[in-house]
Amino acid sequence: MHLVQDLLFLLLLSITLVQRCSTKALVHEKSEKIDNTTDQDYFSVSAIIERANKNAGKSNRGFTIVDGDIAVNTGLQNADRCTSSTCKWHKSGNGKVYVPYVISRQFSSSEKNVIEDGLKSFGKLTCVRFIPREDEKDYIFIKSDVGCYSYVGRQVGEQVLSLDRKGCVFFKVIQHELLHALGFHHEQSRSDRDEHVKILYENIEPGKENNFKKYDTINLNTTYDYNSVMHYR
């Protein structure tokens, strides 16, 4: 059931990418993912990312991790992310949005297969096509760094998307980080989130309040999705 919900979520999100593009509902092929028979809280996307990112923000690498798994350049933590056309991946003449990528040689063949399953899943229901990079200037470099993280939207040149081999190479986590790279925020950052969830600011660690910021998102009359792969729990 959750897999179906996630696929429907991807279909809705595709409408907001760059410009409208036609999509066709396709059946998702079986791929490696989190075992649904185990404790869903322990294996939720947010729980996996939280465990993997315990040390993600502690090294000085020229960027900071905010909102749990979003990379921003140091000094720009308070800036709105992906609010201009420059961070959007462009639509080609045939109506498709092609996003070049490179997968690091750090990953084993089985890990690479899981990553490629996540990349291909977008082509099932959306106009997005992740393609191996040839000589494109802007592209996503998928590597195993400390933790799971991604920038929001298209950056200039190589942009790192981290899938730590120690805890991030899961189908839903891969989809989650790729959605960030396409320009999407967390579900609980939607402009209408206060109508659906309550943020207990008194329980937030001092200095981390900005991680619970709302964004002026375009929701296209879609309902708030508590089961979204982009919703933290």
Pairing type for strands 148-150 and 63-66 reads unpaired
93 neighbors 148 (Cβ within 8 angstroms): no
Catalytic residue among 158, 177, 205, 209: 177
* Cα–Cα distance for residue pair 176/102, rounded to 1 Å: 18
Q: Is 177 a catalytic residue?
A: yes
Q: Is the distance from CB of 187 to CB of 231 less than 8 angstroms?
A: yes
CA-nearest of 190, 175, 185 to 118 is 175
**What are the backbone dihedrals phi and psi of residue 130, each rounded to the nearest 5 degrees, phi first?**
-80, 125
For residue 140, the surrounding DSSP H or E stretch is: strand 139-143
Q: Can you tell me the distance from the alpha carbon of 159 to that of 156, in angstroms, rounded to the nearest whole number?
A: 7
Q: Measure the CA–CA gap between 164 and 215, rounded to whole angstroms.
A: 28
Q: Is 176 known as a binding-site position?
A: yes
Residue 185, annotated ligand binder? no
DSSP per-residue letters across 164-196: -TTTT--HHHHHHHHHHHHT---GGGSTTGGGT
Is 180 assigned to a binding site?
yes
**Which residues carry a binding-site annotation for Zn(2+)?**
176, 180, 186
**Which residues carry a binding-site annotation?**
176, 180, 186
Residues recognised as catalytic: 177
